Amino acid sequence: MSEHPKCRRIFLLPISMFLGLLILVSCDDLKEDSLGYTQNLTIQSPAPTYTPLPTYTPLPTYTPLARPTVSSLQMPTPLSQTVVPLIPTATPLSFQATRIPQAGSYIDEEFYENIQVDVEGEFLPAMENRFDPAVGLTAPLIKGVDLAGNPIVLQEDAETTIVIALAHWCPHCRNEVRELASYFLDNPLPEGIRVVSIATSINPTRANYPPHKWFENEQWNIPVIVDNSDSDIARAMGVSSFPFFIVIDSNGDVSLRVAGRLGIDGLERIFELITTKSY
């Protein structure tokens, strides 16, 4: 009886070892199946990668056209200043008398090529970056003709004159004339101030030629003195860009020069400076 249990234990030992080995093999199979399943999931469902949103690209900025320089306005050989006696008939014309002529008033097709101007006095120097050497100097006396061929002078005694130099082909001048034309039509000039414009740098091959058509289309009612083919008036006033503003006081001296557009706000600021004498 004592040997029977011992034999049973000996018989069960191999069976237990076999079952343990079977369990280990089964676990390895399950592990491999689990790894294969995970691998399949990784292949079938890859992790999404980060894609940044597109960056902001600003609109193009405005790049102004290069303005003419002093050298482009000057002739290779500087012209000598001439002293011309006063012409009794060359008196400044009123605003009503210098309205833009109607179509058909030009008989001479070479009107702009035959323009004659008279300059009396020293030419003004060109503007510098931070200092205008012309301020305080006596402006040259300019005599010429308006768009209708009538005699006109640039300055007038006992009044402050604002001179606006304009080129018909200049895009900045076109914008300035369009903006200021409506202002001049709707608002009288302050007392003691007159405004005269110069049609200069005239070129028949460029935009808005002839100038009188351009001024007529824009309803520009400011008197216009026409420069000659050499731009003598512009050179005499030291014009270095377009548009260009010159303020000449009642004594004939230069009070202020401004290069570039002013617009209505800038023009009214100049009116204020003149009336308060704070320039």
Residues shown for the chain: 279
**Please, are residues 161 and 154 in contact by the beta-carbon 8 Å criterion?**
yes
Beta-carbon count within 10 A of 104 CB: 6
> In the sheet that 118-120 helps form, which strands lie side by side, from edge to edge?
118-120, 141-145, 151-153
Q: What is the spatial distance between Cα 189 and Cα 184, in angstroms, rounded to a whole number?
A: 8
Beta-carbon count within 10 A of 271 CB: 17
Query: Residue 272 — very low, low, confident or very high, per pLDDT cuts 50/70/90?
Result: very high
Residue 246 corresponds to which tokens in the numbers above?
């010159």
> Cα angle vertex 73, ends 147, 80, to 5°?
85
**Three-state DSSP class for residue 253:** strand
Q: State pTM to two decimals.
A: 0.64
Q: pLDDT by residue (tens digit) across 116-152?
A: 999 999 999 998 877 899 999 999 999 999 999 999 9
Q: What is the spatial distance between Cα 25 and Cα 63, in angstroms, rounded to a whole number?
A: 80
Please report which residue ranges of the chain form alpha helices under DSSP H.
3-44, 70-73, 171-186, 211-217, 232-236, 263-276
Beta-carbon count within 10 A of 236 CB: 23
Query: Residue 158 — very low, low, confident or very high, per pLDDT cuts 50/70/90?
Result: confident
Q: What is the spatial distance between Cα 146 and Cα 98, in angstroms, rounded to a whole number?
A: 7
- Find the mean pLDDT for residues 245-273: 95
* Rg, C-alpha atoms of the chain: 44
Backbone angles phi and psi of 224, in degrees to 5 = -120, 125
- Find the mean pLDDT for residues 90-116: 56
